[in-house]
Chains A and B, each alone.
With several copies, the nearest count.
Chain A
Amino acid sequence: MSQQPVIDPALAEATSASPIVNRFSIVAATVNGSGSQTSNTAIIRALFRMGIPVSGKNLFPSNIQGLPTWFTIRVNEDGCVAREDSAELLIGINPETFLQDVAEVPPGGVCFYPDHFTEGLDRTDVVYYPMPVQQLLRELDPPKELREYIANMVYVGVVAEILGIELPEIREALLTHFQGKAKAVDSNMAMVEAAAAWARSSLVKRDRYRVERIDKTAGMILVDGNTAAALGAIYGGVGFAAWYPITPASSLAEALQDYLPRLRRMPESGKATYAVVQAEDELAAIGMAVGAGWMGARAMTSTSGPGVSLMAEFAGLAFFAEIPIVVWDVQRMGPSTGLPTRTSQGDLMFVRYLGHGDTKHVILLPGSPRECFEFGWKAFDLAERLQTPVFVLTDLDIGMNLWMSEPFDYPEEPMDRGKVLTAADLERLGTFARYRDVDGDGIPYRTLPGNEHPLSAHLVRGTGHDENAFYTERPDAWERNMERLWRKMETARGHVPGPIIDSTPGAEIGLIYFGSTDLAVREARQTLAGEGIPTSGLRLRAVPFQEEVEAFIEAHRQVFVIEMNTDGQMRQLLQVEFPRQAARLQSLRKNDGLPLTASWIVAGLRHRSE
């Protein structure tokens, strides 16, 4: 450890100061396709199992192998686990970015590095820990094909030793990761233990950061939103799913393919009670979903921006022909192909009006994997109740990153299959018209193909139709139908999930936000409260909005709409829906592809709050 520079007094002072326990971020700077994901998930899951609140955010490039990747784990006793602007601890094993990575370590921070690195080791305000990766590999000599992966276990062992992560929990974490495959776990653990042992004997702890077992994650789970969404759909009784691969949505459909065979086969025959089709493109994916939704199956598709653009025509058809389908849009950065591996909330305005000619859609906005699960099944209830496409907008951050979560609640209510008439109903009623507004709520009754009652059959169409689904060009028929659809959208307000409001008595500032920014906003509000700037928060969970939203805006002197897109799209939607409030809405937005940080929100509000 010759390269180790003399430690400057500042650092000495800093490091000798009281330890910082369970309150820091650590980033692993690696190369993608090198298997470092295993190491990173082992660390985060072990910390989580030690009872410490965590989050893991993977910043990866849009390619498959060989480019820089950063995996950041934040641990925080108080559960503040939104992304932070910088990480105090660096695991720097990517030579390409090492100098840059080291430069970004805050003073007093820590740097773990492979001991064959020779540059970037000269910061005097950072504690360096070398890791003898090559040596340990030589000693352990794992099978050639595993070498690269095992090598990544070195930093797991060293970091565990220095920070105090319990090795048994690392083993548990690996067990989870390898779905119990002992052999894989053992070969990896061997290196973890070797590295830890080496660190124990060869390194002196000189930094302030430590972890300690606490009890803040009891009963909780660690999960990504795409998996949660897939499970939600499965427990919502999904019958048909069609998809086309696209980052960051692919893992949603793939989670369906992983869990469905296990959860949804006939006990005796082992036959599937579902169908998942990988379509030739997104037009086909949504088209298939529309076909299945028309038949009466719970049908869905999942995609991201470019796919949504291709779904516009079918979205309009489903809205107008009133076919229930669920469309997941795991948002990535746009316009166009944009940044496939960066997060954003930029599809809002487009999806709301997706389809030419007065088309409008119901949108759900889950704020966490847990809500992804909940909306996963509720979306089907809503789609079938309202007989319209329901779009669920998440983003890469919720969809693909690891979130700590309360376990999912098993759906208590029975499924709401909406206004479907059986042959018996038709017999009883003696009359039926597909698009008649019987109940005055704009929602007509429908019959499903296969219903053999003579009154049942009709020809569904995207062309202008009368109550009986017959084609007509009559002006009055057209207007009546559009007025009914308008009524239906009003009815939707009462069915979609309402906002989550957290009002602070006396607060004059109101924050309106939605989706993945939840943790950051909550943390920011704590900080601001600490600074004597109390705020109220309203997290939107769906479009169209309810009156409470307008009331909230009226109730506050200053109202900020916080979002991650360039145009301030949620603010625009609020301006459209609440003209009387339009002038009072201020926009606080950032759209750089990274999850929002509390500190950015705080800074923004600090100088704009009057």
Chain B
Amino acid sequence: MSVTTESQATARTGLNRIGLSKNDYRGRPTTLCQGCGHNSISSQIVAAAFEMDLMPEQIVKLSGIGCSSKSPAYFLNRSHGFNSLHGRMPTVATGALVANRALLGIAVSGDGDTASIGLGHFMHFLRRNVPMVYIVENNGVYGLTKGQFSATADRGQKIKRQGENPFLPIDICQLAVNMNCGFVARSFAGDPRQVKELLKAALSFRGTALLDIISPCVTFNNRDESTKSYTWGKTHQAPLHDVTLVPRREEIHIEYEPGQATLVELHDGTFLSLRKLREDYDPTDREAARRLLSEARSRQELVTGLLYVNPDQPSLQETMGQVERPLTMLSESELRPDRASLDQIMQEMR
């Protein structure tokens, strides 16, 4: 819906409401492999930001190290960004977004980056609830180092050099639900529309919004039987619902029979409409999410959509009682206490 209207709005001009063209959201030419899932996700980030009329200058991009983590170079040229260290992005993001809470954080990581070397930081990041869109481009391998198994590779999965993976995969969404993350979604790079709508939802969410996106590595892990391949994704994807972000400003009559959709109101007043596609599922029920994920796992099913949402948790900045203004914008007089206060302290140390 919002999509259609958006496109209508932009169809004529080619510009969005803040007068930017889609080009203003693009990045540099990708150096990733042709057909890499990461590239399609980058395009959806571009599309989502464009359609949401976001100012690229008010976004910061963050990433670790990996093919996935390179992608911030391939979208949003007009945004500042930090391509940091392998597995450490959550720490850099925490410092950055606490220092300047006015900026909108979009982070891209890989399954190796997040579930192997970065697992601890990832979980503590969720625990603090730092407002940011956290995208894991999940392909079950280490792409940039030429295809070793990552911790999300399924047991029994085969790749060229290393043979068969004997270990059970780490379920990133399950962990996120566990760490009480307020926005937990799973998607598939082969389903661009869903990726885009979930991105929009995440971008409107206040708190950590986790997107675990299956993003096939066409070079090292795209065999049909791999649970991280395009074929497997296409044949096993089971979308929970049709996600649409309904911006406040638009007056839209959503015509469903009752119970056919869930509406979730976010802090900025926008609504998430989740039109059910399968058995009754309540994305505000943590236990349900837990159950769904472990069933999906045993059923070998790629359940996608917004698995769990709870907009009512304090962000780290709120928890710490920070000023609304970015700490980086404070004046010298606000940062340096006055002379009298120091004299007072010196007195106390006599």
A→B interface (CB under 8 Å): 33, 48-49, 61-67, 176, 220-223, 231, 234-240, 242, 244-247, 250, 254, 257, 259, 263-264, 266, 269-299, 306, 313-314, 317, 336-337, 407-408, 410-411, 414-415, 447-452, 454, 456-463, 470-471
Contact with A along B303-329 (1 / 0, CB 8 A): 000000000000011001111101111
**A65 near B148: Cβ-Cβ < 8 Å:** no
Complex: how many Å from CA A279 to CA B143? 16
**A291 near B93: Cβ-Cβ < 8 Å:** yes
Complex: how many Å from CA A336 to CA B312? 39
Residues of B within 8 A of A273 (CB): 323, 327, 330, 334-335
**How far, in Å, is A298 (CB) from chain B's closest CB?**
7
26 CB contacts below 8 A, A to B, read: A33-B219, A176-B350, A242-B94, A254-B161, A271-B321, A272-B323, A273-B323, A275-B322, A280-B121, A284-B121, A290-B95, A291-B94, A292-B99, A295-B326, A296-B99, A296-B100, A298-B335, A299-B99, A337-B85, A415-B332, A451-B57, A454-B78, A458-B80, A459-B72, A459-B82, A460-B81
**How far, in Å, is B94 (CB) from chain A's closest CB?**
5
Residues of B within 8 A of A276 (CB): 320
Closest Cβ neighbor of A282 among chain B residues: B117
B175 within 8 A of A: no
**How far, in Å, is B145 (CB) from chain A's closest CB?**
4
**B79 near A457: Cβ-Cβ < 8 Å:** yes
**How far, in Å, is A366 (CB) from chain B's closest CB?**
17
Complex: how many Å from CA A254 to CA B80? 33
Residues of A within 8 A of B322 (CB): 271-272, 275
**B341 near A64: Cβ-Cβ < 8 Å:** no
**A450 near B142: Cβ-Cβ < 8 Å:** no
Q: Can you list the 9 inter-chain pairs with the closest CB atoms, starting with the nearest?
A: A287-B91, A291-B95, A237-B335, A288-B95, A291-B96, A221-B349, A449-B80, A245-B145, A292-B95
Closest Cβ neighbor of A415 among chain B residues: B332
B→A interface (CB under 8 Å): 28, 31-34, 55-58, 60-61, 65, 67, 70, 72-73, 77-88, 90-100, 102-103, 116-117, 119-121, 124, 128, 142-146, 148-149, 151, 161-162, 219, 316-317, 320-324, 326-330, 332, 334-337, 339, 341-342, 345-346, 348-350
Residues of A within 8 A of B98 (CB): 240, 275, 277, 288, 291-292
**How far, in Å, is A593 (CB) from chain B's closest CB?**
18
Q: Which of B28, B77, B94, B323 contacts A271 (CB 8 A)?
A: B323
Complex: how many Å from CA A21 to CA B65? 46
**A449 near B96: Cβ-Cβ < 8 Å:** yes
Q: Which of B70, B219, B328, B341 contacts A263 (CB 8 A)?
A: B341
**B100 near A244: Cβ-Cβ < 8 Å:** no
**A64 near B84: Cβ-Cβ < 8 Å:** no
**B349 near A223: Cβ-Cβ < 8 Å:** yes
**A239 near B57: Cβ-Cβ < 8 Å:** no
**How far, in Å, is B102 (CB) from chain A's closest CB?**
7
Residues of A within 8 A of B142 (CB): 245
Complex: how many Å from CA A276 to CA B79? 27
**How far, in Å, is A493 (CB) from chain B's closest CB?**
27
Residues of A within 8 A of B92 (CB): 287-288, 290-291, 294
**A295 near B83: Cβ-Cβ < 8 Å:** no
Given contacts A273-B323, A291-B95, contact A462 B328 (CB under 8 A): no
Extra A-B contacts (15), CB below 8 Å, given A234-B337, A452-B57, A457-B77: A48-B350, A63-B32, A65-B33, A239-B327, A239-B328, A245-B145, A273-B323, A273-B335, A284-B124, A293-B95, A407-B349, A451-B57, A456-B57, A457-B79, A459-B82
Complex: how many Å from CA A415 to CA B330? 13
Residues of A within 8 A of B346 (CB): 221, 407-408
Given contacts A65-B219, A281-B116, contact A287 B84 (CB under 8 A): yes
Closest Cβ neighbor of A301 among chain B residues: B95
Complex: how many Å from CA A244 to CA B72? 24
**A221 near B350: Cβ-Cβ < 8 Å:** yes
**A237 near B323: Cβ-Cβ < 8 Å:** no
Closest Cβ neighbor of A417 among chain B residues: B332
Residues of B within 8 A of A451 (CB): 57
**How far, in Å, is A546 (CB) from chain B's closest CB?**
29
**B100 near A449: Cβ-Cβ < 8 Å:** yes
Residues of A within 8 A of B321 (CB): 270-272
Q: Which of B91, B99, B342 contacts A239 (CB 8 A)?
A: B99
**How far, in Å, is A236 (CB) from chain B's closest CB?**
7
**A295 near B348: Cβ-Cβ < 8 Å:** no
Residues of A within 8 A of B336 (CB): 235-237, 411, 415
Complex: how many Å from CA A277 to CA B116? 14
Complex: how many Å from CA A488 to CA B50? 40
Q: Which of B85, B117, B151, B162 contacts A462 (CB 8 A)?
A: B85
Residues of B within 8 A of A283 (CB): 88, 91, 121
Given contacts A67-B31, A449-B80, contact A278 B149 (CB under 8 A): yes
Complex: how many Å from CA A519 to CA B92? 40
